[in-house]
Chains A and B, each alone.
Chain A
């Protein structure tokens, strides 16, 4: 069973639109961490954010914001006023003690921001 689901395979938006990338996870642990990564066309995965299971506060960093809801096991990522440079593949990942030092990655969402 997939532990991290990113239901949107590809999304296209026009520049300046807001866009939300969905991430739904599955775990039995009470302590776990969730991550978002960005993979631009150059290929290197760039870490964006970490959230632990005890902190349900939303986070905002510039145009990026994250909404963590334990009740729905979701950790969604919103880009406000998207820009062409936001075009990338975005991965959500789960870290829990069951998997030791491994991550469980979602399949990724490819975001294309058109000028």
Chain B
């Protein structure tokens, strides 16, 4: 079974802190994604990566950066957390090919106070 894990289910941080959200997948998938989910706004893509050290901006990259130093790990970084980044963050991975589904992690609910 494909497994996508996220470092925390719940996280509380203060405004201005640097925040790291980690995602690890164990199925050698080329592609990894970070989404943000807010009530009424559905899933919004922040960044995705199609290979190690490769990344592309999604729909809402402002205020975020990412790192993919190893194939299995994709990190989302909030350089200086703000209250409007309070949200549910979902990581996903997917093999190459438009026929494959995305596999999701359990999500991290981040609160910035």
- Chain A residues in the interface with B (C-beta under 8 A): 31-33, 35, 37, 42-47, 50, 52, 91, 93, 95-97, 100-103, 105-108
Contacts and interface: CB of A to CB of B under 8 A. Distances in A.
A52 B99 contact: yes
A44 B42 CA distance: 14
Contacts of B90: 43, 45
A106 B98 contact: no
A101 B96 contact: yes
B101 A35 contact: yes
Contact of A108 (B42, B94, B104, B109): B42
B64 interface: no
A103 B102 contact: yes
A102 B104 contact: no
B44 to A, nearest CB: 9
Contact of A45 (B50, B98, B99, B104): B104
B31 A50 contact: no
A46 B50 CA distance: 22
B106 interface: yes
A95 B99 contact: yes
A95 to B, nearest CB: 4
B99 A44 contact: no
Contacts of A46: 104
Interface string B52-70: 0000001000000000000
Contacts of A47: 101-103
B92 to A, nearest CB: 8
A37 B99 CA distance: 15
B98 A33 contact: yes
B45 interface: yes
B42 A107 contact: yes
Contacts of A100: 50
A46 B107 CA distance: 12
A101 B50 contact: yes
Nearest to B32: A101
Closest 7 pairs (CB-CB, A-B): A43-B107, A45-B104, A107-B42, A101-B31, A95-B98, A44-B106, A47-B101
